[in-house]
Amino acid sequence: MADCDEALHELYQYLDGELTEERREVITSHLNACGECFEAFDFQTELRQVVAHKCRDEVPEALKARVADLIEHEG
């Protein structure tokens, strides 16, 4: 079973789905057994949801067109 340092060190990879299935199961088991690590996991999960929600602002079409034009002329 992973200790707290290992679990917290790999928390972002866990949240991003970048761990092997075996490693993910170890971290999940640890999170289920350790209240402090689960609290950190819960906080990071909620923080990601807030950031994702706040970053949904629409970019003006004129800005999109300018960026696309700049990219096209760079190549």
pLDDT in tens, 7-49: 999 999 999 999 999 999 999 999 999 999 999 999 999 999 9
Question: At residue 56, does pLDDT exceed 80?
Answer: no
Burial label, 37 (beta-carbon count in 10 A; 0-12, 13-18, 19+)? buried
- Domain ranges in the chain are 4-74
Please give the model's pTM, rounded to 2 decimal places: 0.65
- pLDDT score, position 60: 85
Mean of the pLDDT values across residues 48-69?
A: 85
Distance CA 62, CA 59 (A): 8
**Is the per-residue pLDDT at 1 higher than 50?**
no
Report whether 22 contacts 14 (CB < 8 A): no
Residue 14, pLDDT score: 96
Selected from 1.10.10, 3.30.70, 2.60.40, 1.10.1740, the CATH number assigned to the domain covering 4-74 reads 1.10.10
